[in-house]
Structure 1
Amino acid sequence: MSTVLHPLLKDARAVLFDAGGTLVHPDWLRLARIAECVTGRTFAPEDMRRMLYEVLRGVDRSISEGNNPVAHTQRPGWLFHDMFCALGVDEESCERMSSPMLAEHERHHLWCEMDRQAPAVIAELKRAGLLVGIISNTEDGRARETIEEIVDQFDLLVDSFVVGFRKPDARIFQYALEQLQVAPGEAVYVGDSYGHDVLGAERARLRAILLDPLDIYEGSDCARIH
């Protein structure tokens, strides 16, 4: 992930990021161990990663069509549940995975693998004089835990569970801009979900960049980075 020289940053005063899937990633090995204990199957990190993005793309498609699956996406562990179902795990086994997965998540956040490039990207943006913030959808108000090692680099952290608005609701973007005292046209939002991040940011009149590491959104109408 590198946004430092992206043309959309011209004249920007602030860059806002999604957290999960953008700055931090799941602990694939812990997820695979939980799944193996329940199903007896082994899952490769690269297969889980690709399927997770495919699940997100399905949600994005729903949002693009005017639907917003808020109730489903507020369910704790929904994304991993849907990912394993999409990988061919039966519904009963996916449900049986829920308890050990939530227990492991409570012990230590499952979204805990910092993107290798993120610290350097954030540092470079700060050196360029830009305000840097996070807008994250969570089911439990624990966004800060996911970026604890670099949290002091950010000027703002907005957790949907705390403020009561979730992406793609334009209000959560507007709230962040008000806190930073930045106009919509002066801000860029970077995230890995077309529906939640790109459409939400654009509705709030921010510029948006889609993080698309697997080229799933090739041919889309938005700016993309890998």
Structure 2
Amino acid sequence: MEPRHIKGVLFDAFGTLCHIESPRLPYRLIMKRWEKGAADCYQAIMTRDVSLAEFAGEAGLSHEEAAFLEAHVAEETNSMRLFTEVPQTLQALRGHGLKIAVVSNLAKPYGAPFLKLLPFEPDVRAFSYEVGARKPEASIYRYAWEGLGCAPSELIMVGDSLQNDYQVPHELGLHALWLDREGSSLQSEDGHVIHSLQGVLGYLGFD
């Protein structure tokens, strides 16, 4: 692969570009109370453009319980931080003329706070609650590459989930890099493993 063939990079959000310093897991109680079970609830949370309060109501939670959970969401969103190398890496990629997209499984309350963290607005955002599909469903990746006006072979997907950000994108014809921040891998994915987001620059020959 030569860098001139790559026109854009698709990034996962949480665990890749940013992290939550004070996790509270506010949706956990809703999932416990959801009549159709946790798996159905998770799918709904990730693929419906609905507030936490509305989901809490559907799950039968009281107004007091919903307010408690919304306070936990506020704690989480207020503690969201970019990883230290992210702004410089994103700016460098844009400086080389690459398009940037974010492809992420998100509940609605996290979308706007996440965008505020970024040094610039991505060219495309494929947030699951807006797209109506979540990774590893093919349609969310397709939404991103069509939005960028690129073929899958002209793009790289980067993220910390081996299945969602490496294996499935690769099957769909994208280039892919698995971000293993913990260094737990043994470089088994054909060498397509990086341990910092700056590894994207090295992979493309930009450093």
TM-score, scaled relative to structure 2:
0.68
Q: CA deviation at 1:106?
A: 3.5
Q: CA deviation at 1:152?
A: 2.5
1:150 aligns to 2:118 (yes or no): yes
Paired position in structure 1 for 2:155: 187
- Aligned-pair identity (%): 28
What runs of 5+ residues in structure 2 fail to find an aligned partner?
26-37, 47-65, 196-207
Paired position in structure 2 for 1:17: 11
1:196 aligns to 2:190 (yes or no): no
Equivalent residue letter for 1:15 = V
Q: CA deviation at 1:114?
A: 0.9
Which of residues 74, 85, 88 is equivalent to 1:117?
85
**CA spacing shift, 1:173–1:141, aligned 2, 3 Å:** farther
Q: CA deviation at 1:72?
A: 6.7
Paired position in structure 2 for 1:174: 142
**CA spacing shift, 1:162–1:153, aligned 2, 3 Å:** closer
Q: CA deviation at 1:104?
A: 1.8
Equivalent residue letter for 2:8 = A
Equivalent residue letter for 1:22 = T
Equivalent residue letter for 1:26 = I
1:224 aligns to 2:190 (yes or no): no
Residue-pair matches, total: 164
Q: Is the 8 A contact 1:123 1:153 kept in 2?
A: no
Q: Is the 8 A contact 1:114 1:147 kept in 2?
A: no
Equivalent residue letter for 2:131 = V
Aligned equivalents of 1:26, 1:198: Cα separation in 2: 22
Equivalent residue letter for 1:11 = H
Query: 1:143-194 deviations in whole A, cap 9, x for unaligned?
Result: 2321313263421111101111111111111111111100110000100000
> What secondary structure, in the 3-state scheme, does the structure 2 residue paired with 1:216 have?
coil
Q: Is the 8 A contact 1:189 1:201 kept in 2?
A: yes
Aligned equivalents of 1:213, 1:108: Cα separation in 2: 21
The 5-angstrom pairing of residues 37-116 of structure 1 reads: 71=40, 73-74=42-43, 103-106=71-74, 109=77, 112-116=80-84
What runs of 5+ residues in structure 1 fail to find an aligned partner?
1-6, 36-68, 78-97
TM-score, scaled relative to structure 1:
0.63
